[in-house]
Amino acid sequence: MTRTSLLSAVAALAALGASLAFAAPAPSPVTPELVDAANKDGKIVFYTAMDVEVAAMLGKAFEAKYPGIAAQVERSGAERIFQRVGQEYASNIHAVDAIDSSDVAHLLYWKQQGMLAAYRPDDVARWPHSARDADGFYAANRATLSVIGYNTKLITADEAPKSYADLLDPKWKGKIVKAHPGYSGNIMTATFELSRALGWDYFKKLGEQQIMQVQSSTEPPNKLALGERPVMFDGNEYNALIVKRRGAPVAVVYPSEGTPLVSGSAGVMKDAPHPNAARLFISFLFSREGQQLLVDNGQLRSFHPDIKEPADRVPLSRIKVLTADPAEQEKAIEEIKRKYAEYFGT
C-alpha cells in the first residue's frame, strides 16, 4: 500500500469515525489486577524511535518500578521501525508489544490496519485533543523541536546564525551538518514544515552549501558536540540539550522564522505477545512519572499538564513553533524525497 492510498483511507476513516466506529474507551487507571497480569507476562517489548539512551533509561525506570517485568527496548529510526513491523507482521511474527514512532502517520496506518489496541491511560484523558487519537488508539507521548544549533567553542553567540536565512551565508559553506528525511521521521516532518514556510527554493540554495549529510535526527547534535561541523541545520532539540547538559559546547537556536515541532506517538499492539505488560508500560510512559523522566533526562517536551519545566531551557510558550497537518504532510512525502535527492544528492 502506498502512502497516498494510506492517507485517503485514513482520511475516510477519520470522517467515518466521527459518526460511528469506535467509541472512545474510558480512561484506564493502573489497577492491582493489571499489575498482577503484567507480572505474569513477565516481559514487554517496546519498539521506539526515541533517543537510545532516553529509551534505555525509560526501560530501566519501568523495570525498577515493576521488578517482575523485563523491558526490552528496541531503538531504531522511525522509518526502519515502520519497515520492520511491516516485515514482521507480513511474516506473522508478533514480537512487539508497545510501539512509538516520531511519525504520527505510522500510528494512523497501524490503527487503520487493525494492528493497534484501543487503550487510554487515565493521564491521557487530560491531554490536549490535538495530541491524542479520538478513539484512544494512541497519543503523543513526547514532542521535540527541530532546532538550529552551533558549537560554542568554534562560534561565538554573536556570529551564530539566528535564522534559517542566515544559514545561506557563504561563510557557512562546508560547515553545516544535517539529517536526512528519508531515514528520519522527525526530519521528514520538519522538512515538510520548512518547505511550506520557506519554500523549496530555500532548500535548493541550501544544497549548494556542501552539507554534511547524516541519517538520524539524533546524529547532528552529536556531530556538533564532537566539533565535526560547527553548525547544525536540523536535529532534535532534546539531543542537543542532553549533550549540552553533559558539558558539550553546544548551544540551541530557535530560528526567527519559527521552529518545527515534531511529536511522537505511542500505542499498544493488538496482537501483543505480552498484552498486560504492554498496557502497564504505556500507562507508565504517559504517567507524570514517566513523562517527567522524559522531560528531565530526555529533555523532551510533554503534553502532561503536571510537568515541571526544567529551569535550563526555554519553555515552549516562548517559542514560535511550526506545526504540520499530518494528512497534508502525507501527500507531500514523495515530493520531499524527490526534491531532497535532487538538491542534496542522497
Alpha-carbon dihedral sign for residues 17, 20, 26, 30: negative
In the complex, minimum distance from the CB of residue 223 to other proteins, in angstroms, rounded to a whole number: 6
Site map 5..44 versus other proteins, x via CB under 8 A = ----------------------------------------
What is the Cα–Cα distance from 165 to 162, expressed in whole angstroms? 8
Whether the CB-CB separation of 136 and 83 falls below 8 Å is answered with no
170 touches other proteins by CB under 8 A: no
Q: Measure the N-to-C terminal CA separation of the chain; round to a whole number of Å.
A: 24
Alpha-carbon dihedral sign for residues 225, 231, 233, 238: positive
113 touches other proteins by CB under 8 A: no
Taking the least distance from each CB to other proteins, the nearer of 121 and 220 is 220
What is the Cα–Cα distance from 158 to 281, expressed in whole angstroms? 45
223 touches other proteins by CB under 8 A: yes
Name which position in 24, 30, 56, 125 contacts other proteins (CB under 8 A). 56
In the complex, minimum distance from the CB of residue 233 to other proteins, in angstroms, rounded to a whole number: 14
Grid coordinates in use for 250? Answer: 553546544
Grid coordinates in use for 60? Answer: 530501566
Whether the CB-CB separation of 282 and 50 falls below 8 Å is answered with no
What is the Cα–Cα distance from 187 to 133, expressed in whole angstroms? 22
87 touches other proteins by CB under 8 A: yes
In the complex, minimum distance from the CB of residue 243 to other proteins, in angstroms, rounded to a whole number: 8
The neighbour count for residue 36, using CB atoms within 10 Å, is: 11
The neighbour count for residue 105, using CB atoms within 10 Å, is: 23
In the complex, minimum distance from the CB of residue 143 to other proteins, in angstroms, rounded to a whole number: 19
Site map 247..266 versus other proteins, x via CB under 8 A = xx------------------
133 touches other proteins by CB under 8 A: no
174 touches other proteins by CB under 8 A: yes
- Binding interface with other proteins (CB under 8 A): 2-3, 45, 47, 51-53, 56-57, 59-60, 71-77, 79, 82-84, 87-88, 90-93, 95-96, 154, 174-175, 180, 182-183, 211-216, 218-219, 222-223, 225-230, 243, 246-248, 341, 344-346
